[in-house]
Structure 1
Amino acid sequence: MARATRSPARTATGGIALLATLVLTFSACGPTVVAPPANPVHARAVSTNPDDRTPHILDGQVYAVIDLGDRVIVGGEFTRVKRFNHPTVHARRGLFAYDKATGAIDTRFAPALDRGGVRDMVVSSDGRLVIGGSFQTVNGRPYVGLAKIDLTTGATDTGFQGTTNGWVNTMALRGERLFIGGTFTKVGATNRYRLAAVRATTGVVDPGFNVPVDLALRGAPNVWRLDATRNGSKLVITGNFTRVGYQPRAQVAIIDVGASSAQVSTWATTAYRGGVCSPNVDYYVKDVDIAPDDSFFAIVTTGAWGGGLATLCDTVARWEMGRTGGGQRQTWADWTGGDSLSAVAVTGPVIYAAGHQRWANNENAPRADAKGPGAVDRPGIAAYRSSDGSVLPFAPDRERGLQVGTMTPTDEGLWIGSDSSRIGGEWHPRLAFLPR
């Protein structure tokens, strides 16, 4: 999931949801951080030449990035980081900050997570960082899955009440309402089944937002990625589920959100039903991102070759937001020919899809893991014209790895967090920035 963190913000996922640029305003109480509600618009694809100053993350996976202008906050499941041009290794479990101009690791900001790491994060209106992930304590205090910390020092906000009883995979912030999705069944003492809304400044549960997510395709249900429209009136969720708000929905659902209520939209599709992709994959929808103007959203999947063009396994697809009713079909789809996609970002005319792929436009593949007529080489990342799905010349040749945890667009370019080390012919382990 790409929001302006993976949730403005991916984003959504992972999380998850998607801050392109932060605007600082001032009051008697000090600075207030206001996040823009949507991805920026890029008229064309970003450069294929990565910025040279991104830090080296020496293990694990990056899932979330927040660009604060002068500083960058990076979240994921890793334990060691270093400045790009210095040998000193810093121990950082799941979260660190660095100076964008120099690449120096911020030694003041070192919050202590007990385990796991950060899957998504947003900046609330009071200028603090809300993190979601697979941790159980933060700075020695019991905060399971969700916590709030100081952006400068990393100190825990002890007044925040949003702790859960499971993982938080994805978030999206709209105004003061913070949507969260994951594996949890409680937020604080309130029952909320894998999807909830809380007040970002306090963590208090929104009483009017209660849409249970349950019944997995296989294994345990979860919400893996989500994104919201600019005004927060619609939420697109994806994950391991077959029922949302007690209505049948396979891996994708749209939630209609009012000022004091929420319900499942009539929008529904069977395109991502279970049993059509690899039986080794519990669920195969891996990320969602809504266009900057809210008119459509894009979804990427894993799943292996499955039934070829009869399924949406290993594809990127565009879906229209304004439609209602069952039997929805994608506007267009593009097949990799059997390689997984794990992250998607929409910047208006351009849709980026990244993951383990070797090819794009591979709908004529003769079999799984083969290049068919018309296919183009796009290792690790591809860009598409959003209107018709045609593949753009953008080809930075990213080391494929296993998955991309986030693509985060900003006004200045595109952040890519992953588990691999090379892009554009350069060494950028697990984090890269492609400028406009």
Structure 2
Amino acid sequence: MTVKLTRTVKTTRRWQRRRALLGLGVAALTIQAFTPPSTAADTKPSPGEPLTITADDLPTWQTDGVVWSITTVGDVVYVGGNFDFIRPPGTNPGDPQQLARKNLAAFNAATGEPLPWNPTVDGTPFTDPNPQNECDDLGNNQWNCDAVWEVKASPDGSRLYVGGDFSHINGQRRAKIAAFDLPSGTLNTFKREINSRVKALTVTDTTVYAGGFFTAVDGTPRQRLAAFTTSDGALAAWAPTADRGVHALITSPDHSRIVIGGNFNRINDTPPHGLGAVYADTGHSAPWETGVEYYDDVRRSWVTDLVKDGDTIYASANGEGTFDGRLALNPDDGTMRWIDNCLGATQAITLMRSLSESYCIFRSRSMPGQGLGCSSRRIEGTSNAACLQNGRDQSLPERLAPRIRRTNGIAEPTAGRHQRVLHLLRTPSGRRRNYEARRQVQYQQGALAIP
């Protein structure tokens, strides 16, 4: 089943206009009646009380570029992206206190302080007259693609796998995928030759699954999906196919399937668009019903992230004039359990106890700085999804989304049209850290921590 929301969105907007007028009247009466005391989120509620979160900024070291992926192992947070330096909170790019970190860095999860781990991740410069998205522009049609797009730990925490555009790590050949032993952080012998970007990884005790834009591994055809044994790094026989880019991978709760998200139209020549599943052992297609919208190559949605709990897969999506919210899905057959639309690019989603959070950003090309981000959440089997755009509630009404039983969200302002929250992580302390790409130097770049 492919998600179709065109009619719903039109009706929602009419409903929102009527609700906005009522909301203004209620707000005015409330202000006249009393001034509410300041409140704080109860992050350690009594038994039976719902969990809430704060939106307070925490001082956090910043990168001078983009952080694409985060994972935590014990009390260490590992980040990967496209950056050259990290610097203390509150300082400007180029500050004398900055530290060199080339596309990978590690931080203490409790304090946020950087750790000594400092591998150097490089690409191989090349010439191309066409712009290369998310690569370093060296000038004169010269480009260097060296970003780390995914960091993922093994289940036992003994290894850290990384995927991306890079060609070398610490001067050694590592084409698009590599692994480090933990806790030492030493680059190990895992080595494969992949011909294009690795954007997604998921790891089990026996297998590393990779997805991206590649079409060959060690010269062997692999259409954007491949697997490797954890014991020796050998290329596995597992070889499902995707006709376009794979952006996210996750194992099903019972580990029998690999759920796939991206911008593809078909997995193993089977629809729907943007979502699918294959068996973890054979790579054959597993039953999967729900996709995201696709009208043509201009008007389409694509899946940006996947997470899970004990019985549900959660997906976030971006889109061009189409659906760009989040879904909850049955991992056994891909049937949809609930859906909401944040009306903005949803880049990442994470889980926090019984609370799932997604983050979407509203961007205005004509009026930079007017957008607002929103956190959406699901508590105890209900979905709470509220978004603010230019001060107006953008959550879906109950009658248009029957599986969303109540709405109550948290919104915080963002500055500048080029901001995006690209990844979310719950640290061992229960704090949520989201790392932002902020490409306007007057704003704090890189990482923003929110408890």
Q: TM-score, normalised by structure 1?
A: 0.70
Specify which of 321, 330, 341 is matched with residue 331 of structure 2.
321
Q: What residue in structure 1 maps to residue 24 of structure 2?
A: none
How far 1:396 moved relative to its partner?
A: 3.6
> Cα distance 1:73–1:332, how it changes in 2: closer, same or farther (>3 A)?
closer
Matched, 1:212 2:241: yes
- For residues 85 and 299 of structure 1, what CA distance do their matches in structure 2 show? 31
Contact 1:70 1:101 in 2 (8 A): yes
Cα 1:390–1:240 shift into 2, 3 Å: closer
> Aligned equivalents of 2:191 and 2:448: distance in 1?
34
**Would the alpha carbon gap of residues 398 and 234 (structure 1) be closer, same or farther in structure 2, given more than 3 Å must change?**
farther
Q: CA deviation at 1:383?
A: 1.7
Mapped partners of 1:294, 1:93: distance in 2 = 38
- C-alpha distance 43-57 of structure 1, shift in aligned 2 (>3 A): farther
- Asked whether the equivalents of residues 130 and 200 of structure 1 are also in contact (C-alpha less than 8 Å), the reply is no
**Aligned counterpart for 1:253 among listed residues 269, 273, 276:** 276
Deviations 1:128-164 (A, max 9, x none): 321111111112222111011344665432x213342
When residues 105 and 119 of structure 1 are mapped into structure 2, their CA distance, relative to the original with a 3 A threshold, is same
- Determine whether 1:430 maps to 2:430: no
Q: Is the 8 A contact 1:180 1:196 kept in 2?
A: yes
Which of 280, 284, 289 is residue 268 of structure 1 equivalent to? 289
Q: Distance in 2 between matches of 1:402 and 1:294?
A: 33
Q: Which amino acid aligns with 1:415?
A: R
Q: Which residue in the other structure is 1:51 paired with?
A: 58
Describe the superposition over 1:172-213 as per-residue Cα deviations: whole angstroms up to 9, x where unpaired: 112222211111122334322111221235321222x22111
Q: In structure 1, give the amino acid aligned to 2:62.
A: H
Aligned counterpart, 2:420: 403
Alignment of 1:78-89 (within 5 A): 78-84=83-89, 87=95, 88-89=97-98
Pair 1:351 & 2:378 matched: no
Instruction: Say if 1:238 and 1:251, in contact at 8 Å, map to a contact too.
Output: yes
Contact 1:97 1:105 in 2 (8 A): yes
CA distance in 1, matches of 2:101, 2:307: 32
Any stretches of 5+ residues in structure 2 without a counterpart? 1-48, 124-144, 387-407
Distance 1:108 1:323, change over 3 A: closer
Contact (CA 8 Å) 2:198, 2:211: kept in 1 or not?
A: yes
TM-score if structure 2 supplies the norm length? 0.68
* Distance in 1 between residues matched to 2:254 and 2:291, nearest whole Å: 28
The answer to whether the Cα contact below 8 Å between 1:77 and 1:116 also exists between their aligned partners in 2 is: yes
Q: Does 1:227 align with 2:272?
A: no
Residue 164 of structure 1 is aligned with which of 161, 179, 194?
Answer: 194
- Long gaps (5+) in structure 1: 1-41, 215-220, 305-311, 360-367, 371-376
What is the distance in 2 between the residues matched to 1:410 and 1:293? Answer: 19
Q: Deviations over 1:64-123 (max 9, x none)?
A: 122334432211111221133774122222111234455443344233323421111122
> Per-residue displacement from partner, 1:13-35 (whole Å, max 9, x unpaired)?
xxxxxxxxxxxxxxxxxxxxxxx
Asked which structure has the greater RCO (Cα within 8 Å, sep 6+), the reply is 1
| Gap change, CA 1:295 and 1:199, over 3 Å in 2 | same
Q: In the superposition, relative to structure 1, how do residues 45 and 280 fare at CA in structure 2: closer, same or farther (>3 Å)?
A: farther
Q: Does 1:95 align with 2:104?
A: yes
Checking the alignment, whether the CA contact within 8 Å between 2:275 and 2:292 is kept in structure 1 is no
**Residue type at the aligned position of 1:315:** G
1:62 Cα deviation (Å)?
A: 0.8
Paired residue for 2:382?
387
Are the aligned partners of 2:316 and 2:324 in contact in 1 as well (CA < 8 Å)? no
Which has the greater radius of gyration?
A: 2
Counterpart of 1:237 in structure 2 is 260
Q: Is 2:71 aligned against 1:66? A: yes
Q: In structure 2, what is the equivalent of residue 18 of structure 1? A: none
User: Quick check: which one's helix share is greater?
Assistant: 2
Distance in 2 between the 1:150 and 1:111 partners?
16
Aligned partners of 1:180 and 1:195 also within 8 Å? yes
**Structure 2 Cα separation of the partners of residues 108 and 288 of structure 1:** 27
1:156–1:243: structure 2 CA closer, same or farther, 3 Å change rule?
same
Amino acid across the alignment from 2:67? V
Alignment partners' CA distance in 1, 2:359 and 2:216: 33
Contact 2:57 2:449 in 1 (8 A): yes
2: distance between equivalents of 1:45 and 1:172? 29
1:106 paired residue number:
115
CA distance in 1, matches of 2:194, 2:313: 31
* Contact in 1 for aligned 2:348/2:358 (Cα 8 Å): yes
**Which amino acid in structure 2 is aligned with residue 222 of structure 1?**
G
CA contact (8 A) 1:291 1:347 kept: no
Question: CA 1:248/1:155 → structure 2, altered by over 3 Å: closer, same or farther?
Answer: same
Secondary structure class of the residue paired with 2:211 = strand
Q: Residues 171-210 of structure 1: matches in 2 within 5 Å?
A: 171-207=201-237, 209-210=238-239
Indicate if the aligned counterparts of 1:239 and 1:252 stay in contact, CA closer than 8 A: yes
Q: Relative to 1, partners in 2 of residues 1:254 and 1:369: Cα closer, same or farther, differing over 3 Å?
A: farther
